[in-house]
Amino acid sequence: MCLGDFLLFALFFTGHLHLTVSMSSVVADVDGPPFILVPGDGGSQVEARLNKTSVVHYVCEKTTDDFFNIWLNMELLVPLIIDCWIDNMKLVYDNASRTTRNVDGVETRIPGFGASYSVEWLDPSHASTGSYFASIVDALVGIGYRRNITVRGAPYDFRKAPNENADYFARLRALVEETYVASGGQRVVLLAHSMGAPMCLHFLHLQSQAWKDAHVRALVTLAGVWGGSIKALKVYAVGDDLGSYVLRESTMREQQITSPSLAWLLPSRHFWADPEVLVQTEVRNYTVRDFRQYLVDLDYEVGWEMRKDVERYAEDFSPPGVEVHCLQGYGVPTVDRLVFAKGKFPDGYPGFVYGDGDGTVNNRSLAGCLRWRERQPQRVYHQAFPGADHMGILRDARVLAYVSGLVAKFRAFPRRP
């Protein structure tokens, strides 16, 4: 998995459901703007079908008759079997085309575009630990919204960055327009979590102001990774165990570092100054100007190639041109610097200096939306919740109350720009 969110899930069952929902023939009688949910890194189900000629371990399947749930399924993350999962989930970078692909014999798809189920639950069996947007959808349904009609999902392949998601952005535009028409001309609220926030920002950059004025009521973000995160540097070095004691960081790293979205979420120069030390070693220190050297020293120069492909998206922080409601947590210890003891870099395990944030994303990145207040005519609202961590914000009672209150405001004042 890439960084960004690093979903702290423990899931158990596979699934075989694939659905794209269309509302072209449905007119929704809704009192309030429809919502489209945009997940973060790891916030979409992923299904795979195999037709491989070779495998990395004798216990791995070569072929499957149909698609099966591969993200995130703890049955596939046990010893030995995890080698199969890594080989099926990792990406291969092509330096000539500047794009990534699955390994040979692996076909993947993202189920549920237009529906809400695949972003409500990452575990198709609805095990409680696989809950994602479920609490938010339940709150919306509780005040009159309808799943798949006035609250919809827009999942995508979170392994990839905006440069490889052009088709997704086209589908998202079509989904906004379709939902707008089906709701009787009510403008849509985009509600995004973590990496979904900068994904929405780029999507809005692609649209004309006239289109945004006509179709988008507001952008609501939860724990937006506006300026990247120090944790991305940690993943490149040692990986991340997703908060599960049964997983090994070093094993997970084999898959995680192959995702261009990880390169996209490296700390931005908009938010970290050149003199600030992000990684400290006995030989040299690394700042935002030293990503190439850092990745070369970690023996993963392909990571720098990916970074070059996505850097322009990370550096474009112009305002979205719509009303923004930016919600975040704070007061949770968050990695602020990696410190490698003598002789421990690049193969050892670092120590960490902690700062403020939500446990995954640093506070300066989470609060990045405040920079737009003087740069666009549309209002930018910001609310920080003490103790809300990166995943907990999705079911925090204070956040659910904010979203419900926002709906009441929109119902009372369905104004146009």
Q: What is the pLDDT of residues 219-251, one digit of tens each?
A: 999 999 999 999 999 999 999 987 666 678 888
pLDDT for res 130: 72
Q: What is the pLDDT of residues 327-337, one digit of tens each?
A: 999 999 999 99
Is 357 a residue whose pLDDT tops 70? yes
Range list of H helices, 106-256: 117-120, 134-142, 166-182, 196-205, 209-215, 231-238, 249-256
Is 385 a residue whose pLDDT tops 90? yes
Is 79 a residue whose pLDDT tops 80? yes
Least confident of 19-23, 224-228, 404-408: 19-23
Higher pLDDT, 11 or 178: 178
Contacts of 305 (CB under 8 A, 6+ apart): 93, 95, 98
Task: Please state, in angstroms and rounded to a whole number, the distance separating the CA atoms of residues 235 and 247.
Answer: 14
Task: Please state, in angstroms and rounded to a whole number, the distance separating the CA atoms of residues 241 and 256.
Answer: 10
Stretch 186-198: mean pLDDT, rounded? 98
Q: DSSP states of 344-401 as a string?
A: -TTTSPPEEEEESBBSSSBHHHHTGGGGGTTT-SS-EEEEEEET--TTGGGS-HHHHH
pLDDT for res 128: 58
Taking the model in full, what pTM does it have?
A: 0.92
Q: DSSP states of 319-344 as a string?
A: --SS-EEEEEEESB-EEEEEEPPTT-
Is 2 a residue whose pLDDT tops 80? no
Task: Please state, in angstroms and rounded to a whole number, the distance separating the CA atoms of residues 308 and 321.
Answer: 27
Q: What is the pLDDT of residues 243-281, one digit of tens each?
A: 666 678 888 999 999 999 999 999 999 999 999 999 999
Higher pLDDT, 124 or 373: 373
pLDDT for res 194: 98
Structural contact between residues 201 and 236, judged by C-beta atoms closer than 8 angstroms: no
pLDDT for res 124: 79
Is 18 a residue whose pLDDT tops 80? no
Is 401 a residue whose pLDDT tops 80? yes
Stretch 354-367: mean pLDDT, rounded? 98
Summary mean pLDDT of the chain = 90
Higher pLDDT, 38 or 22: 38
Contacts of 135 (CB under 8 A, 6+ apart): 394, 395, 400
- The single-letter code of the amino acid at 361 is V
Stretch 80-100: mean pLDDT, rounded? 95
* CA 42 to mean position of chain CA atoms: 6
Q: What are phi and psi of 170, to 5 degrees?
A: -65, -40
- Give the rounded percent of residues in the chain with a pLDDT score beyond 70: 90
Active site residues: 194, 358, 390
Least confident of 24-28, 110-114, 166-170, 255-259: 24-28
Structural contact between residues 112 and 19, judged by C-beta atoms closer than 8 angstroms: yes
- The single-letter code of the amino acid at 295 is L
Least confident of 4-13, 46-55, 309-318, 337-346: 4-13
**What domains, with CATH codes, occur in the chain?**
35-411 (3.40.50.1820)
pLDDT for res 411: 85
Q: Which of 203, 129, 204 is nearest to 394 (CA)?
A: 129
